[in-house]
Amino acid sequence: MDHRSTGRLFCSQIFKNTHQEEPHHEKEHHTAAVTTKAAAMCVSMAACGGKTDDTKTDGTGDAGGAKKYTVGVCQLVTHDALDAATQGFIDAVKDKLGEENVTIDVQNAANDQNVCTTIVNTFVSKKVDLIMANATPALQAAYNATAEIPILGTSVTEYGVALGIDNFSGTVDERVALDHLSLTLRDGDFVTVIGGNGAGKSTMQNAICGTWQPDEGSIELDGVNVSSLPEYKRARYLGRVYQDPMMGTSAGMEIEENLALAERRGRHHTLRPGIRRGEREDYRRRLRELGLGLEDRLTTKVGTLSGGQRQALTLLMATLQKPKLLLLDEHTAALDPQTAQRVMDITDRLVRENHLTTLMITHNMRDAIHYGNRLLMLHNGRIVLDISGEEKARLTVPDLLALFSKVSGQEYDNDRALLA
């Protein structure tokens, strides 16, 4: 039997619009990789996190670029059947997506389950779009490492047994990422969002941005229904700052060039000089207000800046045009405490001065309570807490933990939030 032509598809977390099931055969040992059908599923899965070529992370790029995807492959050991499964998967994905549009990182665990864990954790930290787990220990490591990145598994005799799932029917842990979530923000609202891993926080922001399309419902920004608009067209309404300081800026360009690109986001380009004297002075003034000494470094390459400086610059770029909605996705999580506090102070000032409607995801409960006028807690894709006004002002971290336990029936499980 050709190992590349038969396969058992497993996915640990999928959205309904990407769900494709294959029959489950209880006794047959499946060592094959994923067929073209599986590759098609990979395409739809990766829509949740692929990056668009020639499109800047601040939304200023060309709309015509192709999606770029990163896939991590964890294979337990070198073996003819496992090798064929991995190669079959690679061939199918490249055939479906185009070889130039996908980067596949294949790692071999040398028959060591601990190495599987290390490999998969690396994939998670790199935020790959998909993990392919080849053999039971690799699958178990992937399943335990992430609740957000889709997983494809193969070379597993019994998926239910491997993952400790009773009455396994062929699809593992299917989750609805956002479960009839309804949220209206008032003009000038500064809303902080907390929740455990996999609660739907980043998924909500990705839906707003158009990174992926929800199955039903609509999304409106300032009265404009953007539900059918692609991601690059929504960028004119949005400002976004990511957790990774390397995103949101172009490392090989100068500070003033990055600011100029952000200021021209959504505008028609002309042949006039790129940066005029008045614009340069405005950039210098705005940078001076950050208090990071960047006002005299306009021609410095952004790639030479520290993480805190880059994140502050990204925040400034995201707010230059006063977006209809500012999205902050754990934008201080990768910074040391002192730098994180400075970036939060800058955030608070920019939001207040520009009267920006803001949705900020954070794992820091103290920040969630201290900043903003409204606090949301998500759990299993639903809003379980919505607190504002005096009630929010009186909150403490123990209060918030108790409220979460009361409405969800579970203990809050995020260490970063508890230790913040």
CA distance 63 to 56: 10
Instruction: Tell me if 127 sits within 8 A of 49, measured CB to CB.
Output: yes
pTM of the model: 0.59
Residue 414 pLDDT level (bands cut at 50, 70, 90)? low
pLDDT of residue 164: 75
User: Rounded CA gap, 360 and 327, in Å?
Assistant: 6
pLDDT averaged over every residue in the chain = 79
88 within 8 A of 36, measured Cβ to Cβ: no
Q: What DSSP state is assigned to residue 322?
A: -
Tokens representing 23? 């029959």
Measured CA distances, 163 to 130, 168, 228, 279, 347 (Å): 19, 10, 38, 58, 42
CA gap 248, 207 in Å, rounded: 18
Q: Tens digits of per-residue pLDDT, 21-60?
A: 333 333 333 322 333 333 334 434 333 345 544 443 343 4
Q: At what angle do helices 80-97 and 36-46 cross, to 10 degrees?
A: 60
Domains for the chain: give ranges and CATH numbers.
16-163 (3.40.50.2300), 190-252+306-419 (3.40.50.300)
353-399 pLDDT per residue, tens? 999 999 999 988 899 999 999 999 998 888 989 999 889 989 998 98
